[in-house]
Structure 1
Amino acid sequence: MKTLTALFTVAALGLSAGIAQARDLGPDEALRLRDAGTIQSFEKLNAAALAKHPGAKIHETELEEQFGKYIYQVELRDANNVEWDIELDAVSGAILKDHQDT
């Protein structure tokens, strides 16, 4: 029983540590970071995401801080109605992930 309790505790701590490493940034903080020049403009980041899927439309965006890095997440829907999730480094504008949403 002690082993099961210890295993459960370790698993719960591991899950909560992973969750604590990602933090959604609100609009005010996102604008402050943009205005300070810490992150790229949202127009530039959106344009980089749209360049990967010409003709797509943006459905949702989100700025997060993950492990000390600013990540801009964009959800697109292309002309064939396929959803794409794109993650960009909000500081450099580099595409980090581009995958079809399933």
Structure 2
Amino acid sequence: MKTLTALATVAVIGMTASLAHARDLGPDEALRLRDAGTIQSFEKLNATALAKHPGAVVQETELEEKFGKYLYQIELRDPQGIEWDLELDAVNGQVLKDHQDT
């Protein structure tokens, strides 16, 4: 029983720690970072994502700071109705993740 309790405690601490390292940035902070040149423009980031899936439409975007990095997350829907989740480095525009939403 002690082992089970210890494992549960470790799991909760691990989940809490990972949450502490990621935070969503609000519109004001996102615009401040863009205007300061810290991150790329949202238009450029969107264009990079859309180039991976021609004809797709942006469904949702989010800027997040995780482990000191600015990540731009974007959800797309392509002409066939398939949804895609992409994650870009908001500083240099590199595509970090590109996978079909399940």
- 1:63 aligned partner: 63
Partner of 2:41: 41
Gaps in structure 2 of 5+ consecutive residues: none
Gaps of 5+ in 1: none
Mean alpha-carbon deviation: is it higher for 14-23 or for 67-76? 14-23
1:3 is aligned to 3
How big is the shift at 1:86? 0.6
SS across alignment from 1:32: helix
Separation in structure 2 between the aligned mates of residue 26 and residue 98 of structure 1, nearest angstrom: 24
2: CA distance between counterparts of 1:60 and 1:15? 25
1:14-93 alignment runs, 5 A limit: 14-93=14-93
- Per the alignment, in what secondary structure is the counterpart of residue 91 of structure 2? coil
Deviation at 1:88, TM superposition (A): 0.4
- How does the TM-score come out when normalised to structure 1? 0.96
Amino acid at match of 2:18: G
Q: State how many pairs are aligned.
A: 102
CA distance in 1, matches of 2:4, 2:38: 46
Equivalent-residue separation in structure 2 for 1:33 and 1:42 (angstroms): 11
- How big is each residue's C-alpha offset from its partner over 1:34-86, in whole Å with a ceiling of 9 and x where there is no partner? 00000000000000000000100000000000110000001000000000001
**Aligned counterpart, 2:98:** 98
RMSD, aligned α-carbons = 0.8
How many Å separate the matches in 1 of 2:3 and 2:59? 46
Per-residue Cα deviation, 1:7-55 (whole angstroms, up to 9, x for no partner): 2111110111111111000000000000000000000000000000010
* Cα distance in 2, alignment partners of residues 8 and 54 from structure 1: 45
